[in-house]
A = this chain, B = another copy of it.
Amino acid sequence: MGRWEPNARGRLEQAALELYVERGFEQTTVAEIAERAGLTERTFFRHFADKREVLFAGAGALQELLTTAVVGAPDSVAPLEAVATALEAAGALLQERREYSRRRQAVINANPALQERELIKLAALASALADALRRRGVTDPAAGLTAEAGIAVFKIAFERWISGTGEADLPQLIRESLNELRAVTAGT
């Protein structure tokens, strides 16, 4: 096998997900993932720390994208709107990977340890968003609440997107969920 391995990372992700769906996460080995992708285990470990991290490799980039967008939003934009706009931008990227996201979620839902990992990533994301809002001058408790509200909106929109029939796209569902949150908090 040559040293030039086009899109090794993407091929490993795809192979891993296929095997997790076919055999279950626990039953799949790194050797099998590498074989399915036509690559070596060594190449696998150049890209991922372990077989779990294949499923969470996008989290760092997502966090970076969201916090950069929140910090960079114009001063005139209200905090929750800055978060929602950032989430819509992330949603537009995820939209391209709907089938992948759907199968990934099925693997995670079938495994408590993966669910824990997912919750930790979401908590870390909420914390990073709150920090980004503080950098915009938002004080507490508004910063924490706005970040948590944003994650709630994203979570509900994502669930609807994953389980839906495909008519609504993710950015649209994020906007709808935000409007729904506004409605439930406004109602007394």
Report the separation of the CA atoms of residues A144 and B144 in the bound assembly, to the nearest whole angstrom.
Answer: 19
> Assembly of this chain: how many copies?
2
Q: Is the interface of A mostly helix, strand, loop or mixed?
A: helix
Instruction: Assess A156 versus B148: contact at CB under 8 Å? Given A120-B119, A181-B185, A185-B185.
Output: yes
Looking across the interface, which residue of chain B has its beta carbon closest to that of A178? B185
When distances are taken between beta carbons in the complex, the residues of chain B under 8 Å from A81 are: 187-188
CB distance from A160 to the nearest CB of B (A): 6
A148-185: which have CB < 8 Å to B? 148-149, 151-153, 155-156, 159-160, 176-177, 180-185
Residue of B nearest to A77 (CB): B188
- Check if A144 sits within 8 Å of B120, measured CB to CB: no
CB proximity of A149 to chain B, nearest CB, Å: 6
Contact A78 B187 (CB under 8 A): yes
Contact of A184 among B80, B115, B177 (CB under 8 A): B80
Quick one: CB contact mask for A136-153 with B, threshold 8 Å, 1 for yes?
A: 000001101110110111
